[in-house]
Amino acid sequence: MTLFKQIGLVVSFIIIVMLGAIMIINYKSAKQDMIQSLYETTANNISTLSNNLADASEDYALLVTTIDAEFDSGYYQKIEYISNDAKSDYVQVDNDLVEGVPLWFVRFTDIKLQSVSSDVSSGWNMAGVVHVTGDVGIVYKALYKMFINLLYVFVVSVVSAQIVLSVLLHFVLKPLYRVQRQAEAILKNEFLIQEKIPFTTEFRDVVYGMNAMVKKVEEIFNKGNEAAQRNKELLYNDPTTKLFNRRYLMLKLSDLIKLENKANGGTIIFIALSGAEVLNQQLGRKKADDMFFELGDIFNDVCRKYDSKVIARVNGTEFTLMIPDCDAGDAKEMALRISSRFEELIAFNKLDAKEVFIVLGLYRYKPTVTISELLTRADNALSQAKVDDNTNICLYEEKDDENAMGKEQWREIIEDSISNNYFSLRFWPTLNAKTKSLDHNVMTFTIDGGENKRFFYGDFIAPAINLGLVSRMYIVTLHDLITTRHEELDGSVCSIRLSNDFIKDSDAFDELRTLFKKYAKTLNFKLSFEVTDSFAINNTIVVKSFVTLFAKYDFGFGVNSFTGESNDFTYLKELNPKFIKADCAFLLDQSKDSMSALQVITDSLGIEIVATFVKTTDELEQLQAMHINSIQGPVTDLINK
């Protein structure tokens, strides 16, 4: 219960009790006063009546008329005359119900009024006694009217008090709401500074403290960010061209080869520059460096439409463009554009194109290629280009397997699988090496449609992307995951790696939202979603909308394939993932300084680092030495044993 409600309830209770007490005291006091007043009035009247009756005591008709006249012209319940000789007794009574007063009130009030008595004497003759009881109906009516008025006053007072209290509490507790919002933001690792300083001393001190804390953490993040950028440049960037270096390329290659895309692989371009000595001699070192920088710009410009590319300067005169999702035709066109723009650059610097030129070797690879095959074949293409007198570009293309299925065959298989849900869910664990406990499961899926219809995710994802079926495929599998019980998931966390194409599809967002709305509450495990680092960097706004949707249902979010390729880690602050997953090789390749900078960032944002593809216990030990305990990969089998 919120503080507002607690204070509201307590104060309301006090107000109601106080007003109620005042009402009861008022009511009781008024009741006593009225009864007393009626008794006194009756006592006053009886004196006159007894005098009149004294004169009439000898004549019964006179006596009766006197009593009737008195009774009819006043407010009496009863006038009773009892004569001493018992011959001329007379009584007038009115026991009618009190009009205008409900019976329950009469019963509740229960007024007992004493009768007033007086002797009737004529001279020395004691004629009798008259007993008079005032009309309690007046008291009932007056009390009922007062009761209703008090009730109105009570209701109006309580409602008014509630309104005033509510406004007052809202006003007084407004700073506390802001403190609460700031506290929530801190818990979510968001850097929220409260600009409005509360008037109340206690709140003011809390806000000062929290602001100072947030500023410190933000400062730590910013310093970490700067340090990470610096270290990344030192470790993975060529200082002249600002392109990546060979070390970074080699780290990324295995990820890039397997990257999900439409082209089912991509193209690697080796570019070798001839005449570097001439260039240095003719332009001088500084201008030559400027020309290399401009060359880097040309590479970036030509393949800017590819998000997941890596452009690296592998040595002084050789460059590599690793471009996943790029087919042979596009690659050839890019090679021609690079060649053409290089010629323009040579001409601009007044160099001889016969002395200073570039040679391009292109290799169109499939995801099944190994790193050494990739490099060897690209090198062969480059060598071929060097020896060919007619052109400086050579393309070596990996032909499709003759037995490979065609587009329509894939369409049939995938659509069939979507319609009949042939997808089989698979889970593999992410462990905490320190506690040897399960951190979360990662979900993937295969197609299991019977004999000759069994395929791994890697087999059908490229055709699915090409055919635009990724979103439907994911929705079916997510529906299966959420609606079917999977015992291994009970009470745990299940993480799903979302395909980039799924996130780009706006309809998928709506379907996911509908799915969550319908089933989120029924889940007996927690969901978590992952997107690739490069996608998160280049599509931060789109990913943010998904993150907001996940947060609404208290689902987790993480970034996978993290390679620190961004020059600014602010996107992590923006997306606030719970974890980042990075290849073990990448993590182990980090220098002490760069790892330290990365950990400053992750610690300041409350992000956990998960190492993937951890194969050996040696690697595990090294990771643990770096305080990385969440592990994915073959080594988890060894830990489990």
Binding site for other proteins (CB under 8 A): 59-62, 64-66, 68-76, 92, 94, 96, 99, 135, 137
Q: Which is nearer to other proteins, 78 or 247 (CB)?
A: 78
Least separation in angstroms between CB 55 and other proteins: 10
Least separation in angstroms between CB 124 and other proteins: 24
Q: Which is nearer to other proteins, 76 or 221 (CB)?
A: 76
List the one residue out of 311, 315, 318 whose CA is nearest residue 296.
311
Q: Which is nearer to other proteins, 102 or 329 (CB)?
A: 102
Helix axis angle for 136-187 and 3-56, nearest 10°, is 180
List the one residue out of 44, 69, 59, 70 whose CA is nearest residue 122.
59
Q: Which is nearer to other proteins, 70 or 325 (CB)?
A: 70
Least separation in angstroms between CB 171 and other proteins: 49
List the one residue out of 380, 337, 332, 359 whose CA is nearest residue 272.
359
Q: Which is nearer to other proteins, 46 or 512 (CB)?
A: 46
Q: Which is nearer to other proteins, 66 or 500 (CB)?
A: 66
Least separation in angstroms between CB 103 and other proteins: 18
Q: Determine how many CB atoms are found less than 10 A away from the CB of residue 75.
A: 15
Q: Which is nearer to other proteins, 136 or 582 (CB)?
A: 136
Least separation in angstroms between CB 46 and other proteins: 16
Q: Tokens in use for 445?
A: 């899926």
Burial class (CB in 10 A: 0-12, 13-18, 19+), 163: exposed
Element (H, E) at 513: helix 506-519
Task: Assign 166 to helix, strand or coil.
Answer: helix
Element (H, E) at 91: strand 90-93
Q: What is the DSSP string of 368-425?
A: T--HHHHHHHHHHHHHHHHH-SS-SEEEEE-PPPTTPPPHHHHHHHHHHHHHHT-EEE
Least separation in angstroms between CB 180 and other proteins: 58
CA separation for the pair 501, 462 (Å, rounded):
11
Q: Which is nearer to other proteins, 100 or 239 (CB)?
A: 100
CA separation for the pair 564, 566 (Å, rounded):
6
Q: Determine how many CB atoms are found less than 10 A away from the CB of residue 507.
A: 10
Q: Which is nearer to other proteins, 34 or 358 (CB)?
A: 34
Phi then psi dihedrals of residue 591, to 5 deg: -75, 165
What residue type is 184 in one-letter code? E
CA separation for the pair 457, 477 (Å, rounded):
12
Q: Which is nearer to other proteins, 122 or 432 (CB)?
A: 122
Least separation in angstroms between CB 111 and other proteins: 16
Q: Which is nearer to other proteins, 137 or 175 (CB)?
A: 137
Least separation in angstroms between CB 101 and other proteins: 14
Judge contact between 201 and 172, C-beta under 8 A.
no
Contacts of residue 398, defined as CB under 8 A and 6 or more positions apart, other chains included, come to 265, 363, 364, 365, 366, 369, 377
The b/e string for 594-617 (b: 16+ C-beta within 10 A; e otherwise) is bbebbbbbbbbbebbbbbbbbeee
Q: Which is nearer to other proteins, 63 or 635 (CB)?
A: 63
Q: Which is nearer to other proteins, 49 or 481 (CB)?
A: 49
Q: Which is nearer to other proteins, 132 or 338 (CB)?
A: 132
Least separation in angstroms between CB 100 and other proteins: 9
Least separation in angstroms between CB 52 and other proteins: 8
What residue type is 286 in one-letter code? K
Judge contact between 23 and 148, C-beta under 8 A.
no
Least separation in angstroms between CB 521 and other proteins: 58
Least separation in angstroms between CB 10 and other proteins: 48
Q: Tokens in use for 47?
A: 């004196």
- How far, rounded to the nearest angstrom, does the alpha carbon of residue 166 sit from its chain's CA centroid? 28
Judge contact between 103 and 157, C-beta under 8 A.
no
Least separation in angstroms between CB 149 and other proteins: 21
CA separation for the pair 596, 231 (Å, rounded):
10
CA separation for the pair 23, 110 (Å, rounded):
18
Least separation in angstroms between CB 169 and other proteins: 49
- Which neighbouring-strand residues pair with 611? 582, 631
End-to-end Cα distance, the chain: 47
Contacts of residue 214, defined as CB under 8 A and 6 or more positions apart, other chains included, come to 182, 186, 191, 192, 193
